Structure 1
Amino acid sequence: MTIKIDAHIQALPATIPFVAPERTERESGNQFVARLGANENNLGCSPNAIEAMARIASQSVGQYADPENFSLRRALCQHLGIEMNNVVIGSGIDGLLGLIVRIFSSPKDTILTSAGAYPTFNYHVAAYDRTLLTVPYRDDHEDLDALAQEAQKTRPAIVYVSNPDNPMGTWWPAKDIENFINKIPEDTLIILDEAYGETAPEGTLPAIDCTRANLLRVRTFSKAYGIAGLRCGYAIGNSALILPFEKIRNHFGINIMAQAASEAALKDQEWLMQTLETNAQARDRLSAIAIENGLKPIKSATNFVTIDCGQDGAYAMQVLKGLMERRIFVRKPMAPVLDRCIRVSTGKDEEINQFSTALAAVLKDLQ
């Protein structure tokens, strides 16, 4: 007898949104000398977070975590000036996006995003049998006007936008985001992905307003705070939007070490400021390397720089493959027009040195 599998799930490809560097290393038999593709914080995390993890490992790792994430939520509320019922913790933004799609839409509902935007969101849309609708980027930015116009026309269940953006690194000032939000129908949920909010210029993030009935903002400890491996993020919103998470979330999904490390990292704002300064310097250096090699860096507000290779997607793929062959891990956008670029994360000086040398060699080989 064959065990029944949901027909929709049976029809989906067995795939993941990203090919991990570990898989490439296994298949090639070579380790990367510079891991600059996953937008991780190669500079590390706060020493206070490391101390918290060490304390948990030696004293409490055998215990279940607090299923209410109370201490971390309280710290976030104090930091952001919000109430406890305005925030929910999840296993990174990725985990939260899956819950949001499940909670706030039904099978076959339309969900709107930008063509080429964060693919893990699309993965959840497909997994829950929703209908994905996209609009193209404009001038390497998510097109807020086009998204708003499409939302007014089709009235999707959800519209997703990130600010700053992945994979291009571009951003909109807060006033443009606020104008966009005000144009979206009241019965459409807005997901505002602010994974790179800490690395953005002042004036990028709108003030937090939890009275808005159709807005969820998602943030993470994976990027600027440097603890991607622990998988911890959070959503901010009106209490009526936060409450449904309690009905279906994995209440023990945020482990005890992730909770303690995230809280310690949040409280160490001095370390965060140092990290942001170092990240900005690395971003400037990556941009300079691109220019030195005749390529065009796209101005970034994130912890990566997207580099226009000056030709089409096929050429950019050759550049990427050449870097990978030289053991430099990078990624690239895959949507048409955006695919002319590669995307390089900020990293340590020695990693950027390796990238600089390899990029020059790759471009010379392609002449």
Structure 2
Amino acid sequence: MNQRFGVLAVSVILTTSLAACGPAEDASGSPEPVAQSEEALSGANWTVLQASGPAPIRSIIRRSDGWLLGPRSNGHEIEVWASSNNGVSWFRYGSVANNAAVDFGDVTMLRVPGTTTIFCAFREYSNGQFRVTVTRSDNDGSGWVYDSTVVGPVSRFVGAPFLFIRGNGDLQVYYDSEELAAAKGYPGHQWIAMQGRNGKTGPWTAYGVVTVSRETAAGAVSREGMPTVVQLGGDRLMVVNEGVEPFTTGGVRANVVNSIQSWDGGRTWDYSLRRTVYRSFIHSGSGRRYNAYAPYAIRVGNGPVGVAFCTDEDKGTTPDLASTPPDQRQCHVGYVSTTTNFETWSGTSAIWTGSIRNYVPGLFERSLNDVIVTIDAFAGNQRVMRRP
């Protein structure tokens, strides 16, 4: 059985969410009692670098000069935040986009190795239409230009893009797509889609629109989202993403974390290797399952795949609904990793248990086995933690 986290504490008063993407959360918004230091409330070997204040949400890259860089959406603007001391502190460095008529979110960055070119992908929403848009900087993030639209405008949700460069140099983008599911005859479902380029420029048509991850059982509901991509070696890839239980437990569906693998650089996906990375236990009082959501995966030290995610399994009372807005859910941040192979997963350990308002953890390996995590604490605050 998966081990549970410890109990929370520490005070934070939160108002509106600045999270970049996604699903959901619950509670009154009243401050929590201060009980212990932040160090005491982090998981084993995780220490706090930044307790509050602005920093990137979920996505971090390293510039050619060694600075760290990442985006943060505040609704109508995509801000750029930088660190010259390896993530210990952050300062505003500019803006990717700013438009009062557009809601921006789900922002991610990718630097082309050995260059000063950085791509930034995000979800746009305006006039009832969604788009996945890509911008580009050719000067290490100092200035940005429009690059392309991957998908849209469409009325069904598309978003939460993740950029990846295949070993042959092709640029790919993975994203949530209600549009693809509906086109295949499953309106109301959401799948992970992928589109790619031959190289790093040109149209997003080199792979067609690939179905990466979805539930396939007869009668199952499929709501897959928030993908991250990890290279396991050569053209063997893994996508880790949020999903929901395909069938209800206690009358509702809880969030779970799934994975799937490709042997050919993302062209096709091996459903025999689809796994549940983490599924929480069932609350005895309601018969409902607790949630695991908003995952982020990286390969640590060229070894195991590590995944940070949110879970409400320490809540004690009835689990949050998967449809609850993120800034209203109660959760801690946990961590699992692959063990003897890329198909088996460890039990959970805690990254952060010091507050109940957390969202979209993002992992970044600063150097071999030196990992930091950013956690959106809402109200303009991002917590940054380190595990050497």
| Greater helix content | 1
TM-score normalised by the chain length of structure 2: 0.27
Query: Which protein is bigger by CA-based radius of gyration?
Result: 1
